[in-house]
Structure 1
Amino acid sequence: MNILIVGNGFDLSHYLPTKYDHFMDVMKAIEIKNTGEKVSDLSIHTVSEWMRLLGQMFEKRKGLEQPNYDMNFNELFSCIRDKWFIEKTEELYLTEQIKISFQDVLKLQYRLELNDWYQYFKNHVEEIKTWIDFEQKIEEVLSTLANCIVEIGQVKRTDELFEYFAHNQKDGHRINKRSFKILSTFNFVTLESYKANLPIAGGMSVANKMKERSNLNPKFCHGTNLENGFNPLGFLNYLYLQLEDFIEIFNLYLDLIVNEFQPKVQLTIDAQEWIRPNIIYSFNYTNTYARFYNSVKMEYLHGSHGAAQNIVLGVSDLEHENLKKLKAYGFTKYHQKLLKDTEYLFLDEFKNKISIHKKKIEYFEKDFGYIDVKERKFERQNLMENESKLDLNIYIWGHSLDVSDKDYIIDIFSLNDEIDRNVKVIVYYFDKNAKFLLLNNLLAILEKDKVELWMKKGWLIFKSNPNVVAINNIQPVDLT
């Protein structure tokens, strides 16, 4: 049986713009598009309210002349930093067909401006190069919040809370500048007016002079009142809903843009050992293999895009005890997978077969021990050598083998445990540096002895990525 496991590198091998950079650069182009229609203050409504109001507006305009604010491929990818990649995309696909309507442009603009996670990631666009980096930035926000919860809890009087947010002062207990900047992006901090006594000549003072200072946003306090104290669950819920809105923005990018790329010619995968997989386990949200090649059974481990999207986008686990106490599991991938009913069963058929086989061996040895009787010896040998075989070829294409998917990786490399069950894992890599990193990640998860054993036995093989070839083109697509 042949199993294909795909990560984002599979889509990138087909020159589909699914890198984190691609997504953010296209969103930037949409955000700065001058439509002349966007309301100056969007905070007066929620995202869902704005989507409803915009829908009503466009419904009323039906049949009337509409302004031409559609965005085509060139406009959408005008801010792209990955120029050489997009040039390859243009060679392979009918990019003239890529276009999103004015309605979708305007709706995305509203979503982008109102989404705190997007604004946060936009401010760190140079730091975040991959989707793994992206997950780490989510973790950074959660860790910052967890630390601040502890510190806020140490402020004895709520009317003195503003002093904690005076991060530019060195004396006393203050939030640090980095934490202040991070949480300010999520409306955690707001400006409040207060009456100040200002000194004047002669030792006198003028009371009731209004000034502004930073303080905790009352909407994240119990009863939206500062006097009632900080409500961490309320703020966590706000962060979670904002993350779900961000996921919907990403879903729209995949749906309206990436899914619309159609090859100019038929594509094929050029590799000597390549044969059609019987099943695909996908860490992607796209259905690229089915669109370009064959309809094969697909298991979407992290969900898929579309009208009924169930995309999983979060952290591997909660590191801070405070977050565990507050049950902030909605930010973890495993919670989202269970909540969104993704295909989270992975290689279960084969793991069950191994479990049954081990029990058979256990029962056999319990009943008969190691009696050197020819028939029994043959029966035991048959159990060990024949019934144990899984006969699997597992091809991994475009997955980083990062610790964020540690459980899946451990499952794969437990299939040849005590004995050779005829399981081979072929890991494709983009270049030598990618192979270096893949091996690094495996060593970190599985440790040296296991990786060495698998490679010495020929169970684990590294190979360069197959070529994606245009059938009517003699030359393969250059992947370097």
Structure 2
Amino acid sequence: MNILVIGNGFDLAHGLPTKYRDFLKFVEVIRQVLNAKGKEIDWKDIHLEIKELIKINMKNVRNNIFSQEQIWRELLEENFWIEYFLQCPMYQKENWIDFESEISNVIQSTDFDMKNNNLKLDDDASIVSNFYLEKFFHKRLPAAVLDFGEDTQVITFREMRDVLYQDLNKLTRAFEIYLCEYVGKIQSVKISKEIKSLRIDHVLSFNYSHTYQKLYDKL
């Protein structure tokens, strides 16, 4: 029995833009498109077919980027994780393992702050050790207070946790759209002669897409 185990490297080997840097470039371009108002778009050396798909979606009458503007703004604007990865040095690194590790590091930093200062979830979280958390929530505080119906100008660790969780879900949804509606529609995908020649009985996939099924299941 031959079992093929694949991960994101499988997509990368087939020329697909599934690095986190590719996704962040896409996010930056979509934000520009929504806010362009006649200004020229900086395409950020984005994958050529992703660029063409965005252009097509800008012109599509029924189901275009602008008709989905509210959805995109909800997912991408004032999103802690989007802002975090666009600003921090992680943007220059290469893979999703680092991306996920950074998310874990930020969450763990709040646990450290609570334990180190003997604080609980409902205590004031206005002072945290992570620079990006402090900067983001200081800017967002009025909105956060309004959202959670608080009368005092503070945000608790519980509220911070909830915002981080909500924004992570939005990041995940934006990534899903990128994979399904853009990466999944790329036509110029390389086919590996080595994979094609193998007699595969089962595939164990840790991949982000259905590349194997699309390219090899029918061969």
Q: TM-score range by the shorter chain?
A: 0.7 to 0.9
Deviations 1:276-315 (A, max 9, x none): 312111111210111122159xxxxxxxxxxxxxxxxxxx
What one-letter code is carried by the residue in structure 1 that aligns with 2:176?
N
Distance 1:287 1:21, change over 3 A: same
**Cα separation, 1, equivalents of 2:185 and 2:103:** 29
Greater strand share, structure number:
1
Shift of 1:226: 4.3
Q: 2:194 aligns with which of 271, 291, 297?
A: 271
SS of structure 1 residue aligned to 2:214 = helix
Give the % identical residues.
26
**Cα separation, 2, equivalents of 1:26 and 1:292:** 24
Distance 1:104 1:80, change over 3 A: farther
TM-score (norm 1): 0.37
**Cα separation, 2, equivalents of 1:94 and 1:241:** 27
Shift of 1:105: 6.6
- Name structure 2 gaps, 5 residues minimum: 58-63
What one-letter code is carried by the residue in structure 2 that aligns with 1:283?
F
**Cα separation, 1, equivalents of 2:117 and 2:155:** 8
* Superposed CA RMSD: 3.9
Aligned residue for 1:372? none
Aligned residue for 2:150? 224
What one-letter code is carried by the residue in structure 2 that aligns with 1:288?
T
- Name structure 1 gaps, 5 residues minimum: 38-67, 70-74, 166-174, 193-216, 297-480
**Cα separation, 1, equivalents of 2:205 and 2:103:** 23
Aligned residue for 1:114? 78
**Cα separation, 2, equivalents of 1:190 and 1:7:** 37
Aligned residue for 2:206? 283
Aligned residue for 1:102? 65
Shift of 1:22: 0.8
Aligned residue for 1:187? 137
Shift of 1:185: 4.9
TM-score (norm 2): 0.73
- Superposed, 1:427-446 pairs within 5 Å as none
What one-letter code is carried by the residue in structure 2 that aligns with 1:286?
S
Distance 1:190 1:152, change over 3 A: farther
Q: Does structure 2 conserve the Cα–Cα contact (< 8 Å) formed by 1:5 and 1:280? A: yes
Whose Rg is larger? 1
Kindly tell me the number of residue pairs found equivalent between the two proteins.
206
Q: Does 1:31 align with 2:31?
A: yes
Shift of 1:257: 0.8
Greater helix share, structure number:
2
Shift of 1:116: 1.6
Q: Does structure 1 conserve the Cα–Cα contact (< 8 Å) formed by 2:7 and 2:207? A: yes
- Superposed, 1:108-147 pairs within 5 Å as 108-124=72-88, 125-147=90-112
**Cα separation, 1, equivalents of 2:31 and 2:73:** 5
